[in-house]
Chain A
Amino acid sequence: MTESKTSPAVESSLTALAVSLRGVTKTYDNGVMALGPFDLAVRNGEFVSLLGPSGCGKSTVLRLIAELSAPSSGTVRVARHEGEVLPGHGIGFVFQEPTLMPWTNVRENVRLPLKLAGVPKAEGRARADAALASVGLADFADSFPRELSGGMKMRVSLARALVTDPDILLMDEPFAALDEITRFRLNNDLLALWRSLRKTVIFVTHSVFESVYLSQRVVVMTARPGRIQADIRIETVEPRGEEFRTSAAYSDYCRRVSAALAPSYSEQSTL
Chain B
Amino acid sequence: MSAQAPVPAKSSHAQRAMRFVLPVIVFAAGLLAWELVVRIREIPPYVLPAPSIIVLTLIKDWAVLSQSLATTLATTLEGFVAASVGGIALALLFNQSKWVEYSLFPYAIVLQVTPVIAIAPLLLIYLEQQTAVVVCAFIVAFFPVLSNTTLGLNSVDRNLAGLFQLYGASKPQTLRFLKLPAALPYILGGLRIAGGLSLIGAVVAEIAAGTAGAGSGLAYRIAESGYRLNIPRMFASLLLLSLAGIVIYGVLALVSHLVLRRWHESALGKEN
Contact = CB atoms under 8 A, between A and B. Distances in A.
A66 B167 contact: no
Interface string A16-42: 000000000000000000000000000
B168 A99 contact: no
Contacts, number: 63
A142 to B, nearest CB: 8
A191 to B, nearest CB: 25
A101 B262 CA distance: 12
Interface in B218-272: 262-264, 268
Q: Which of B181, B184, B262 has the most CB of A within 10 A?
A: B262
B263 A103 contact: yes
Given A95-B159, A112-B177, A147 B166 contact: no
Nearest to B268: A146
Given A87-B168, A88-B168, A116-B168, A140 B177 contact: no
A88 B1 contact: no
Contact of A116 (B162, B169, B262): B169
A144 B166 contact: no
B214 interface: no
Interface residues of A, number: 29
B267 to A, nearest CB: 11
Given A99-B159, A147-B1, A116 B263 contact: no
A143 interface: yes
A18 B181 CA distance: 36
Interface in A195-232: none
B159 A144 contact: no
Contacts of B61: none
Interface in B156-175: 157, 159-160, 162-169, 173
Contact of A87 (B167, B181, B262): B167
Given A99-B159, A146-B263, A116 B177 contact: yes
A144 B163 contact: no
Interface in B176-203: 177-178, 181-182, 184
Contacts of B268: 146
A117 interface: yes
A45 interface: no
Interface in A83-127: 86-89, 91, 93, 95, 97, 99, 101-104, 112-113, 115-117
B3 interface: yes
Contacts of A14: none
A116 B173 contact: yes
B245 to A, nearest CB: 30
Given A103-B263, A140-B1, A147-B1, A93 B166 contact: yes
Given A97-B159, A99-B157, A117 B168 contact: yes
24 contacts: A66-B166, A87-B167, A87-B168, A88-B168, A89-B167, A91-B166, A97-B159, A99-B159, A99-B163, A101-B181, A103-B181, A103-B184, A103-B264, A104-B181, A112-B167, A116-B164, A116-B168, A116-B173, A117-B168, A140-B1, A144-B262, A145-B263, A147-B1, A164-B167
